[in-house]
Structure 1
Amino acid sequence: MTTSSDVIDDPPNPTDGTALPSATLGGDQKRSIEQITLLLFIVVPFLALLAAVPMAWGWGVSWLDLGLLVFFYFLGCHGITIGFHRHFTHGAFKAKKPLRVALAIAGSMAVEGPLVRWVADHRKHHRFSDAEGDPHSPWRYGETIPALLKGLWWAHVGWMFDKEQTPQDKYAPDLIKDPTMRRISRQFVLWTTVSLLLPPLIGGLVTLSWWGTFTAFFWGSLVRVALLHHVTWSINSICHAVGKRPFKSRDRSGNVWWLSVLSCGESWHNLHHADPTSARHGVERGQLDSSARLIRWFELLGWAYDVRWPSRSRIDSRRNTGQVRSRRRKETVKAA
C-alpha cells in the first residue's frame, strides 16, 4: 500500500507534445443531439420506474423479470464501481487485460456515459471536491436550504446537461492513449444497445412470447437502468450533503449506510475521499462492500494484482481526532 497522496490532482499528461486522439463522441463539448439523447435516457427509464408499482400490482412481475433486473443491475453497478471507479479512475488495483476489457464493457453497460468521459469527470471531481470547479457538488449555490435543494438537483442530474465538459486530454490521457480502452469508450452506443436488448432477448427466448419479451425489457432494461442511475447519482448528491464523517477529508463527503448494498459499497464515501486509491471503501466491521469482495476474488484468481488494501494503521491515520480517541478508549476498556 502506497503512502503518497492519493487524490489524482494532476493526472498524467502526454510528454511528447502530440495531440491525443478523440476518445468519445462529441469530445469536450456536449452537442445538442447528445443532450437530447441524454434527456431521453433519463426520462424514459424514470417513467418506467414510476410505473413499476402499478405495473407489478396490475399484471405482476415474474421471477424471470426480477432475476434479469438483479443480474444486469449488479453487472452494471460493479462495472462502474470496480471498473470505471476503483480501477480506471483511481488505480486501486492493476488488472490483466481480459479483466480490464471486461470491466470496461460491464461499466459501459450501466449506460452512464463513455469510459473516458466518466473517468475524466470523476478525476476532476476529486481535484475540486465541493469547491469551485467540482462538476457536481451539491454546495454549488450556497448553504441555505433553497440553495442546497437547488444544489442537490444539480449534483444529482443537472450537471450532466452542462455543455462544457471536462477536458479529457488533461484528466484521462492514460486511457486515451490506450487503443483498447479508447475503442471501448467510442463504442458506448453499441454497449448501451447490448445492455438494453439482452434482457428482452433472454425473456423472449425463455417464455417464447412477446409479453415475456416486453416485461423483460420493462424490468430488466428500463427499471434497472433508472434504479442504477439514481443510486449512482445519489453518491454525487446525497453522500456529499449528509452522512457520518469519521475520516478526515477536504470536502463534505459522508458515509450513508442505507445506500451501501445498492451502491455496491460506494456509499462509504467519506473513507473514499479520505483515501481515494483504497480498494476497499467499507473498512469497518459490518460495512458491506461487495466491490471490495469481488476485487479480492479477482486477486485470488490472479486476474488482479498490486491491490491497494488499506492497513489498520493507514485507516487510523485518516480518522478525525475525536474518532481516534474514542476508538482507543474502547480498546482500553476491552483490554481491561
Structure 2
Amino acid sequence: MPLTSPTRIPESPPDAAPSPQGYDGNSPFPQEGSAPRREGGERLYVAVTAVIVVLPFVALGLAGWLLWGRLIHPTDIVLGLALYVLTGLGVTVGFHRGLTHGGYRAVRPVRIALAVAGSMSFQGDVIGWVATHRRHHAFTDRPGDPHSPYRYGTHLRGQLRGLLHAHVGWLFRNDPTPHERYVPDLLADRDIRAVSRAFPLLCLLTLALPFGLGWAIGGSWLYGVTGLLWAGLVRIALLHHVTWSVNSLCHMIGERPFRTRRHDRATNLWPLALLSFGESWHNLHHADPTSARHGVERGQLDPSAAVIRLLERCGWVHDVRWPTADRVAARRI
C-alpha cells in the first residue's frame, strides 16, 4: 500500500509577523488589529462558535438533571467511551502529532480516517485546527499566540483573565490564522481539503451515531435520546474541556523538566494524562514538537504514542519520529 508524501513540517513554523521588540514575558500583549471581516460573516462566526461551545454546556446541565433521575443506560456509557476514544485519538494522533507536527507518515486510508475521526470531535475543521496550532507553536506565550494564558500579563488579575482566554475566550476573537502561510501542505492535499469541507456533515454524524445506535440497541427512541445526550453532547463537552485545558492549565500549572524556547511556559500536568491521551506531557512536546511520544519518563502514560506504535507495527504508519535518549537528554534542564 503506497504511503502519502506530505511536506515535512518544520519544528518552528514561520511567524506570521515579527514579535514586538522588547517583550519581557510579563507585560500584557500589545493590542493587535483584527483582520477586517464583513459584519454578516462576523455574526455568523460568533453564532456558530457559540453553538459549538455552549450547546455541550447545556447538555451537561441537562445530563446532571437526568442523572439525578437515573435516566442513563449502560449503552450510553459504552457508546460514550467508544466515541470519546475514537474522536480523541483523531485529534491527538491525527490532527496533532501527525498533521500538525509530522511526527510520522501514514498510508492514505489511515491519514483520511484519523482526519475524519478528529473532525467528529466538534473542535473545528482539520485545516483550521492545524493552522491555529502551528501558529501557537510559532508564537508560544508571546504576542501572536492565539491562546496564551499570559495575554493579559502575569499579575493575578491578568492571570485569571488569561486563563479564561486560553481556555475558551480565544474562540470568540476575530483573529484568523492565514492558512496559506501555516498549512500550505494541507491546502495541497485533496483528501484533507475534502475532509475539511465535510466538517458540518461530520458534526451531524457525531451526534447522529449515538442517537441511532442507542435507538437500535435499546429498541426505543428514549434510548436514542439518552445516547445523544450522554454519548453525543456530554462526550463532546468533556473532550472540549480536556483539549482546552491543555491550552490553559498546561501553560500555568505543573512541572517543566525540559528546556523550551524563550517565554514558552508549557508544563507537564499528570492528572490530565489519561483523559488527554498523553497530550498533557506538554513541556516535553514544546521542547521537542515533532516527537511522536510526549510522555518520555518512566510511568508517564501516553496512549497516543501506543496507538502510533501499533499502527507502525501494522505497517500503516512510517518514518515515526520516536524520541532517543540523547535527544531527550539534550533538552533536559
Q: What range describes the TM-score normalised by the shorter chain of this pair?
A: 0.7 to 0.9
- Is the CA contact 1:49–1:227 (under 8 Å) kept in the aligned structure 2? no
Deviation digits for residues 218-240 of structure 1, max 9, x if unmatched?
10111000000000000000001
- Is the CA contact 1:94–1:307 (under 8 Å) kept in the aligned structure 2? yes
- Is the CA contact 1:48–1:222 (under 8 Å) kept in the aligned structure 2? yes
The equivalent residue for 2:258 is 247
The equivalent residue for 1:115 is 126
The root-mean-square deviation of aligned C-alpha atoms, in Å, is: 1.7
Report how far residue 28 of structure 1 moved. 9.8
Residue identity matched to 1:268: W
The equivalent residue for 1:124 is 135
TM-score normalised per structure 1: 0.87
CA distance in 2 between partners of 1:98 and 1:28 (Å):
38
Counterpart secondary structure, 1:131? coil
The yes-or-no answer on 1:266 pairing with 2:279 is yes
Report how far residue 59 of structure 1 moved. 2.2
Deviation digits for residues 113-148 of structure 1, max 9, x if unmatched?
011100000000000000000000000000011101
Report how far residue 50 of structure 1 moved. 3.1
Counterpart secondary structure, 2:176? coil
- Is the CA contact 1:232–1:263 (under 8 Å) kept in the aligned structure 2? yes
The equivalent residue for 2:159 is 148
| Pick aligned residue for 2:269 from 239, 242, 256 | 256
Map 1:226-245 → 2, pairs under 5 A: 226-245=237-256
CA distance in 1 between partners of 2:183 and 2:237 (Å):
27
- Is the CA contact 1:28–1:168 (under 8 Å) kept in the aligned structure 2? no
- Is the CA contact 2:9–2:101 (under 8 Å) kept in the aligned structure 1? no
Residue identity matched to 2:119: S
Map 1:1-336 → 2, pairs under 5 A: 7-10=11-14, 31-250=42-261, 251-320=264-333
Report how far residue 74 of structure 1 moved. 1.0
Measured at CA, do residues 5 and 52 of structure 1 come closer, stay the same or move farther in structure 2, by a change above 3 Å? closer
Counterpart secondary structure, 2:292? coil
Counterpart secondary structure, 1:262? coil
Deviation digits for residues 245-292 of structure 1, max 9, x if unmatched?
000012100000000000000000000000000000001111000000
CA distance in 1 between partners of 2:273 and 2:206 (Å):
24
Report how far residue 185 of structure 1 moved. 0.6
Residue identity matched to 1:304: V
CA distance in 1 between partners of 2:301 and 2:242 (Å):
16
Deviation digits for residues 66-95 of structure 1, max 9, x if unmatched?
011111111111000000000000000000
Counterpart secondary structure, 2:69? helix
Report how far residue 53 of structure 1 moved. 3.1
Counterpart secondary structure, 1:264? coil
Report how far residue 34 of structure 1 moved. 2.5
CA distance in 1 between partners of 2:173 and 2:45 (Å):
11
CA distance in 2 between partners of 1:174 and 1:210 (Å):
44
Counterpart secondary structure, 1:59? coil
CA distance in 1 between partners of 2:233 and 2:212 (Å):
14
CA distance in 1 between partners of 2:98 and 2:134 (Å):
12
- Is the CA contact 1:6–1:276 (under 8 Å) kept in the aligned structure 2? no
Question: Which stretches in structure 2 are left out of the alignment for 5+ residues?
Answer: 1-7, 16-34
Q: How many residues align?
A: 302
Residue identity matched to 1:155: A
Measured at CA, do residues 309 and 246 of structure 1 come closer, stay the same or move farther in structure 2, by a change above 3 Å? same
Report how far residue 6 of structure 1 moved. 5.5
Counterpart secondary structure, 1:31? helix
Counterpart secondary structure, 2:213? helix
TM-score normalised per structure 2: 0.88
Residue identity matched to 2:282: H
Question: Which stretches in structure 1 are left out of the alignment for 5+ residues?
Answer: 12-26, 321-336
Moved over 4 A (4+): 27-30
Report how far residue 5 of structure 1 moved. 10
Moved more, 39-48 or 306-315: 39-48
Measured at CA, do residues 187 and 28 of structure 1 come closer, stay the same or move farther in structure 2, by a change above 3 Å? farther
CA distance in 1 between partners of 2:235 and 2:169 (Å):
21
Measured at CA, do residues 28 and 229 of structure 1 come closer, stay the same or move farther in structure 2, by a change above 3 Å? farther
Report how far residue 180 of structure 1 moved. 1.1
